[in-house]
Amino acid sequence: CFSPKTLGDVTVVTEELKNLYYKRLLPIEKHYSFHHFHSPSYEDADFDNKPMVLVMGQYSTGKTTFIRYLLEEEFPGSRVGPEPTTDCFTALMYGEEERVTPGNAITVDPKKPFRNLDPFGNSFLNRFQCVQMPNPVLESISIIDTPGILTAAKRKLSRGYDFQAVLRWFAERVDRIILLFDAHKLEFSDELTRAFGALYGYEDKLRVVLNKADRVDSQQLMRVYGALMWSLGKVFRTPEILRVYIGSFWSEPRQRCDHYKLIELEEEDLLTDIRNLPRNATVRKLNDLVKRARLAHAHIISHLKQEMPTIFCRESKKHNLIYELPVIFTKIQQQHRVPAGDFPDCTKMQEKLLGQDFSKFKTLKPSLMNSLNKLLTTDIASLVPLFQQQEQRKKSLPAVLDGEFLGTFRRDQFKGDPFKEMLKDDEISEADSDEWVVEKYKPKYDEIFYNLSPHDGKLSGTKVKEWMTTTHLPNSVLAHIWRLADVDRDGMLDNEEFALAVHLIEGKLDGHWLPRELPSHLVPPSKRLSTSSDAPA
């Protein structure tokens, strides 16, 4: 975890960004009515909240299952099925107690970054909710689950709100966008293509996942992957190719296939990317702040004001100016040496200008422009050393996102885990007893243990790993089981520890969630004295 000093560094950087925005940029945005044309003004919650991950895709691509895989537990309102099961936007955030807050209530909470969702109306707010739960993954990131994007067969259905605009609102504010596709049901519908339009300009946040890849053979996978890359290339016209992860993101056994190892490597790459989000969150906020500051909005508004007549023919002149906006953009580029990339989308700007009163626009104010120039040239540069200090420290996330034990069984990787105990229903009654619940199954487990040829009564990590991988559970899950089972932390398993490992694997295969820390009733009898004596006084 972060040390107090590290937390202090993060707070300092965030507070400095906040001060720069309120002191330098917000007065300019207010003076030139930035929020009428682009996004609303930032609030404290936009700076203070944890990094967010937006999970989107067509229905039945595994969005909700992917989130459950990250959290290692169910969350209120989650349903999984081949039909559209998620019909609302759900923000998953950390809370001391499990609580579901409806959209109308959450948008008035100043501590949550959702206050500017009001303009989308009740039709949307009735389909938006915030779920708070005491899950340690949510201490570091927040996750937004979205409704399944409709296929071609259902494209005539109306949602009652502007789905594309809502997606764009979230895309602007989140740190990562995970777009899932089904490897054996690849389809590009009209609504999906429109949803891509909401992501224009945010391709750097986008990660594409070709999910359920273990359900197709290697030849089919190559064809589907090629078709997906071709389709994405037509929609996202960027010089660089989008990163597509091939995987099967759930905590159940995977089907054995020729590309099994590829799936494991891709899983680790994607989890590493998500794991780095908290470390890079302040960099993303700085990037968004600079994007807003560089937008040539003030120059555009000032030019339109100067071109407007004082009394006569205002309306006709206004429409002429809107029509000539591409030419005006070129003039501003030449006069003020503003790069073409710093201008907003011309068509959208024309649409916004139609409903505005040009007579209320303001001309360039030298003091405000000097302040903006100071922000971009001096103030931002002074923050760089703080970012470099922060970059040197990493925070490990729990569950499958824990880089300390992902894909490895090495002894030096073991760390404490802040998860709470989660017991199986049939074990709760036995939790306070001295009986070891694994004992009755031990003869069966011992047979496997001795067939693996232990040395001096213990099995090495290599032998155990070879046997564990035959269960087809993801490496991240098996590594968690190893960490729980190696009670004495010697990098090997004796017969009791091995029996415990098999017991946990069987529980996982039966659909139970793994305990975060090893409950006392699962500790092998021979290890109970040592674990209690090791505990801090």
The position carrying tokens 């970012």 is 387
Domain check: are 272 and 308 in the same one?
no
Report which residue type is found at 178.
I
61 inside domain: yes
CATH number, domain of 362, equals 1.10.268.20
Q: What is the pLDDT of residue 389?
A: 63
Q: Alpha-carbon torsion 527, 528, 532, 533, what sign? A: negative
Q: What is the pLDDT of residue 434?
A: 63
Cα 332 to Cα 326: distance, rounded to the nearest angstrom: 10
Cα 482 to Cα 73: distance, rounded to the nearest angstrom: 19
430 inside domain: yes
Q: In the structure encoding, which two tokens stand for residue 297, read together?
A: 């909005």
Domain check: are 265 and 362 in the same one?
no
Q: What is the pLDDT of residue 381?
A: 82
294 inside domain: no
Under a CB-based contact definition with an 8 Å cutoff, are residues 393 and 387 in contact? no
Domain check: are 358 and 267 in the same one?
no
Under a CB-based contact definition with an 8 Å cutoff, are residues 468 and 501 in contact? yes
Domain check: are 47 and 154 in the same one?
yes
Q: What is the pLDDT of residue 118?
A: 87
Chunked into runs of 10 residues, the chain (537 residues) has average pLDDT values of 39 83 90 86 85 89 86 75 68 92 91 89 92 88 89 61 90 92 82 83 89 89 90 77 86 76 86 84 83 88 87 84 92 89 89 87 89 87 72 52 41 32 41 72 92 92 88 80 88 92 88 77 81 46
**Three-class DSSP category at 330:** helix
Within 10 A of 111 (CB to CB), how many other CB atoms are there?
11
298 inside domain: no
Please state the length of the chain. Answer: 537
Domain extent, residue 428, equals 418-527
pLDDT in tens, 241-250: 788 999 888 7
**Three-class DSSP category at 57:** strand
404 inside domain: no
Under a CB-based contact definition with an 8 Å cutoff, are residues 369 and 257 in contact? no
Under a CB-based contact definition with an 8 Å cutoff, are residues 504 and 481 in contact? yes
Using alpha carbons, list the distances in angstroms from residue 275 to 269, 270, 394, 398: 10, 9, 9, 9
Domain check: are 263 and 357 in the same one?
no
Q: What is the pLDDT of residue 152?
A: 55
382 inside domain: no
Domain check: are 164 and 210 in the same one?
yes
Domain check: are 123 and 266 in the same one?
yes
Nearest Cα to 141, choosing from 71, 59, 47?
Answer: 71
Domain check: are 334 and 260 in the same one?
no
Residue 198 C-beta-side C-alpha neighbours within 13 Å: 22
Q: In the structure encoding, which two tokens stand for residue 306, read together?
A: 């100067």
Please tell me the total count of domains within the chain.
Answer: 3
CA angle 292, 297, 298 (to 5 degrees): 110
Within 10 A of 257 (CB to CB), how many other CB atoms are there?
17
Cα 77 to Cα 232: distance, rounded to the nearest angstrom: 32
Cα 129 to Cα 144: distance, rounded to the nearest angstrom: 10
19 CB contacts (<8 Å, ≥6 apart)?
A: none
Residue that finishes a domain, picked among 289, 315, 348: 289
CATH number, domain of 193, equals 3.40.50.300
Computed over its alpha carbons, how large is the radius of gyration of the chain? 27
Under a CB-based contact definition with an 8 Å cutoff, are residues 20 and 288 in contact? no
Residue that finishes a domain, picked among 289, 311, 326: 289
Report which residue type is found at 1.
C
Domain check: are 243 and 212 in the same one?
yes
Cα 57 to Cα 511: distance, rounded to the nearest angstrom: 25
77 inside domain: yes
CA angle 419, 425, 429 (to 5 degrees): 100
Domain check: are 18 and 70 in the same one?
yes
Domain check: are 277 and 327 in the same one?
no
502 inside domain: yes
Q: Give the bridge partners for 89, in sequence order.
A: 128
Element (H, E) at 179: strand 176-182
Q: What is the pLDDT of residue 410?
A: 32
The pTM for the full model equals 0.70
CATH number, domain of 498, equals 1.10.238.10
Domain check: are 255 and 319 in the same one?
no
Q: Give the bridge partners for 492, in sequence order.
A: 460
Q: What is the pLDDT of residue 145?
A: 93
Q: Phi and psi (nearest 5°) for 132? A: -105, 135
